[in-house]
Structure 1
Amino acid sequence: MKKIILGITVLALMGSCRSGQKGDLPGARELAETLDPLREQAVKHRKIPRTIDEAGQVKWTGERYDWTEGFWPGVCWILFDQTGDEKWKEEAVASQEQFVAHKDLTTDHDLGFIFNCSYGKAYQITKEDRYKEVMLDAASSLVTRFNEKTGCIQSWDVGDNWQGKRGWEFPVIIDNLMNLELLFEASELTGDPRYADIAVKHANTTMKNHFREDASSYHVVDYDPLTGKIRSRETAQGYADESAWARGQAWALYGYTMCYRYTRDKAYLEMAERISGFIISHPNYPDDGVPYWDFDAPDIPEAPRDASAAAIMASAWIELSEYSEGDYLQRAHTVLETLSSDRFRNRRGEGYFLLRHSVGSIPHGNEIDVPLVYADYYYLEALERMKKISGE
Structure 2
Amino acid sequence: MEHNQPDGRLVEPRGLGRPAGLPADQTTVRRSNLSLVLRHVSERGQCSRSAVAIETGLNKTTITSLVGELQARGLLKEIGPQHAGSVGRPSLALTLDGARVGALGVEVNVDYVAAFATDLAGRVLIDRRIGFDAMGAGPGRSLGKLSQVIDKAVTDLDRLGVTLAGITVAIPGLVNAATGTVVVAPNLGWHQVPLVDRLKSAGISARVPVTIDNDANLAALAEYTSGVAMGTPDLVYLTGEVGVGCGIISGGRPLSGADGFAGEVGHVVVDPSGEPCGCGRTGCWETKVGLAALVRMAVPDHAYGTDRHLLRDPEERLAEIDQRRAEGDPRVDAAITEVGRWLGRGTALLINLFNPRAVVLGGYFARLADRLIPVAQTELDELGMTAVTGRCRFLASTLGFGAAARGAVNVVIQRVLSDPTTIAIRDS
TM range (shorter): under 0.3
- Greater strand content: 2
- Greater helix content: 1
Which TM-score applies when normalising by structure 2?
0.24
Q: Return the index of the structure with the highest Cα Rg.
A: 2
Which TM-score applies when normalising by structure 1?
0.26
Q: Say which structure, 1 or 2, has more relative contact order (CA 8 Å, 6+ apart).
A: 2
